C-alpha cells in the first residue's frame, strides 16, 4: 500500500467490536467479516489519498504547457537553493521571456499564441535533463529553468539548443517575429532565493532592452 500504517486500518472493525462488546469475535466467520471490512476501509483510504495527491500535483502544473507553474517554481527554487548549498554544487537559473509575443497574438490569433507557448515548452522538455533539470511557465510568456549542477556556460548551451528546437518547430520562430530573451544567473554563496531570482530577471530585461534598441 506504500504506507505501513495503513495495514493497521484492517484492525479498526475488530477493535471497534471489542470496544463495543467487550470481547473478541468468537467465530472464524466473524473474524473474516471484521477483517474484510477493515481491508475495504484501507482500500478506500488509499484511494482517497491517491486522489488527493493527484489534485495537489495538478495544482502545480500549468494547464496549457504541462510545465510546472509559478507555485511549483517557487517551491522548487527554495528546495534547489538549499540543496545546492548542502552538497555543495552550482545551481543556475534561467529566466526566459518571448520577444514579440503580443505581435503574434494580435496578428495570428490566440490559437497561434498558445501553439508557440506549447512549442517552447516542448523544446524545454526535449533539451533539459530528465528528472534533474526543471522547466516552468511562470505566467503569460514568461518561463524559467532550474539547472542544478550547471555552470553559466552550460546554461547558455541549453538555451542555444532550446532556440534551435523552437526554430525547427515553426516558421514564426525561424523566420520571425518570435525570439527569446533570457537572463542567466548562478547562485551566490550567501544569496537568498529572492535575490537569485531578481538577478536572473534583471539579466533577462537587459537583454530584452538591448534587442529593442
Q: Structural domain tally of the chain?
A: 2
Examine the pLDDT at 125 and tell me if it is beyond 50: yes
Q: 82 and 29 in one domain?
A: no
More confident residue, 17 or 122: 122
Is 195 assigned a catalytic role?
Answer: no
Among 28-37, 39-48, 138-147, name the most confident range: 138-147
Among 3-12, 151-160, 174-183, name the most confident range: 151-160
Cα-based distances in Å from 116 to 27, 35, 99: 68, 55, 12
84 close to 187: Cβ distance less than 8 angstroms = yes
How many CB atoms sit inside 10 A of residue 201's CB?
17
Burial of 33 (0-12, 13-18, 19+ CB in 10 A): middle
More confident residue, 6 or 61: 61
More confident residue, 115 or 30: 115
Give the residue from 75, 83, 77, 164 showing the smallest Cα distance to 124. 164
163 close to 95: Cβ distance less than 8 angstroms = no
**Residue 75 belongs to some domain of the structure:** yes
From 23-27, 39-43, 202-206, the region with the lowest mean pLDDT: 23-27
pLDDT recorded at residue 1: 43
Q: What's the CATH number where 168 sits?
A: 3.30.70.270
Query: For residues 149 and 110, what is the distance between their CA atoms, to the nearest angstrom?
Result: 37
Q: 76 and 48 in one domain?
A: no
- Give start and end residues of each alpha helix (H) in the chain: 12-21, 28-58, 70-86, 101-108, 110-127, 152-169, 171-174, 193-212
167 close to 173: Cβ distance less than 8 angstroms = yes
Q: 109 and 89 in one domain?
A: yes
The string of pLDDT tens digits covering residues 56-100 is 555 789 999 999 999 999 999 999 999 999 999 999 999 999 999
Q: For residue 137, give the 3-state DSSP assignment.
A: strand
80 close to 197: Cβ distance less than 8 angstroms = no
Cα-based distances in Å from 8 to 44, 50, 96: 14, 18, 49
Q: 158 and 105 in one domain?
A: yes
Which listed residue (62, 97, 133, 141) is catalytic? 141
pLDDT recorded at residue 146: 98
pLDDT recorded at residue 61: 93
Mean pLDDT over the full length of the chain: 85
User: In terms of residue numbers, what domain contains 115?
Assistant: 70-212
Burial of 183 (0-12, 13-18, 19+ CB in 10 A): buried
Amino acid at each position: 500500500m506504500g504506507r505501513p500504517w495503513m495495514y493497521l486500518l484492517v484492525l479498526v472493525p475488530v477493535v471497534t467490536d471489542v470496544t463495543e462488546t467487550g470481547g473478541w469475535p468468537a467465530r472464524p466467520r466473524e473474524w473474516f467479516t471484521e477483517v474484510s471490512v477493515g481491508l475495504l476501509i484501507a482500500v478506500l483510504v488509499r484511494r482517497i489519498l491517491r486522489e488527493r495527491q493527484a489534485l495537489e500535483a495538478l495544482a502545480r502544473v500549468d494547464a496549457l504547457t504541462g510545465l510546472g507553474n509559478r507555485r511549483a517554481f517557487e517551491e522548487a527554487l527554495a528546495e534547489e537553493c538549499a540543496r545546492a548549498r548542502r552538497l555543495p554544487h552550482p545551481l543556475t537559473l534561467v529566466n526566459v521571456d518571448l520577444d514579440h509575443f503580443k505581435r503574434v497574438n494580435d496578428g495570428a490569433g490566440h490559437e497561434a499564441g498558445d501553439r508557440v507557448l506549447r512549442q517552447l515548452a516542448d523544446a524545454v522538455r526535449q533539451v533539459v535533463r530528465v528528472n534533474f533539470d526543471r522547466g516552468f511557465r511562470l505566467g503569460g510568456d514568461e518561463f524559467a529553468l532550474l539547472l542544478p549542477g550547471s555552470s553559466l556556460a552550460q546554461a547558455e548551451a541549453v538555451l542555444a539548443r532550446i532556440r534551435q528546437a523552437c526554430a525547427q518547430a515553426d516558421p514564426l520562430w525561424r523566420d520571425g517575429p518570435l525570439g527569446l530573451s533570457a537572463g542567466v544567473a548562478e547562485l551566490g554563496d550567501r544569496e537568498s532565493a529572492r535575490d537569485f531570482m531578481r538577478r536572473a530577471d534583471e539579466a533577462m530585461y537587459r537583454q530584452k532592452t538591448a534587442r529593442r534598441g
